């Protein structure tokens, strides 16, 4: 991105911490970003979702699929309990200290909501699959 003139960077020497590189978006970069935003089409499909692939072919190893579904359910529940509340707190904090933070935070919260809704839906789906497989055993 830097070689394309979309960002600039500088090194920052720090005491008691590792040195870091700070990037700044250039006007060209901001224009490229807004162009990308305006042309983006929503893509919700992932034809190579490994979870779904394993479930699709799961008849050959029901126990492995059951274990995987239970792990999936645990991950979703953990994400909902831990990450969503922590991320929401971070968003609220950034909203207070950043310029235009309140306005921007609406959009950040929309993406958090998508993740939470997706995790809830995946958890419910995993529960139904687990019940179905356990009934058939």
Q: Do 15 and 64 lie in a common domain?
A: no
For the chain, helix, strand, coil in percent to 5 are: 70, 10, 20
d(CA 124, CA 73): 8
Burial of 76 (0-12, 13-18, 19+ CB in 10 A): buried
Domain span holding position 91: 47-136
**pLDDT per position as a tens digit, 93-132:** 989 998 888 888 999 999 999 989 999 999 999 999 999 9
pTM of the model: 0.67
User: What is the domain count for the chain?
Assistant: 2
**pLDDT per position as a tens digit, 51-77:** 898 899 999 899 999 999 999 999 999
Q: Do 55 and 29 lie in a common domain?
A: no
Asked whether the predicted pLDDT for residue 42 surpasses 80, the reply is no
Contact between 58 and 65 (Cβ < 8 Å): yes
Q: Do 36 and 53 lie in a common domain?
A: no
**How distant, in Å, are the alpha carbons of 1, 93, 99 from that of 22?**
13, 21, 19
Helices (H), 6-46: 27-39
d(CA 88, CA 84): 6
Q: Do 58 and 6 lie in a common domain?
A: no
Q: Do 126 and 99 lie in a common domain?
A: yes
Burial of 108 (0-12, 13-18, 19+ CB in 10 A): middle
Contact between 25 and 39 (Cβ < 8 Å): no
State residue 53 phi and psi, 5-degree precision. -60, -45
Q: What is the pLDDT of residue 76?
A: 94
Q: Do 70 and 131 lie in a common domain?
A: yes
| β-sheet bridge partners, residue 8 | 24
């Amino acid at each position: 991105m830097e070689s394309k003139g979309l960002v600039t960077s500088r090194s920052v020497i720090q005491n008691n911490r590792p040195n870091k590189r700070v990037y700044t978006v250039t006007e060209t970069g901001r224009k490229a970003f807004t162009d990308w935003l305006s042309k983006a089409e929503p893509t919700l499909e992932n034809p190579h979702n490994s979870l779904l692939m394993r479930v699709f072919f799961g008849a050959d190893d029901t126990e492995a699929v059951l274990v995987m579904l239970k792990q999936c359910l645990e991950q979703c529940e953990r994400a909902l309990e831990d990450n969503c509340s922590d991320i929401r707190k971070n968003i609220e904090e950034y909203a207070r200290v950043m310029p235009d933070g309140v306005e921007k935070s609406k959009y950040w919260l929309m993406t958090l909501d998508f993740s939470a809704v997706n995790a809830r839906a995946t958890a419910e789906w995993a529960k139904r699959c687990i019940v179905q497989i356990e009934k058939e055993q």
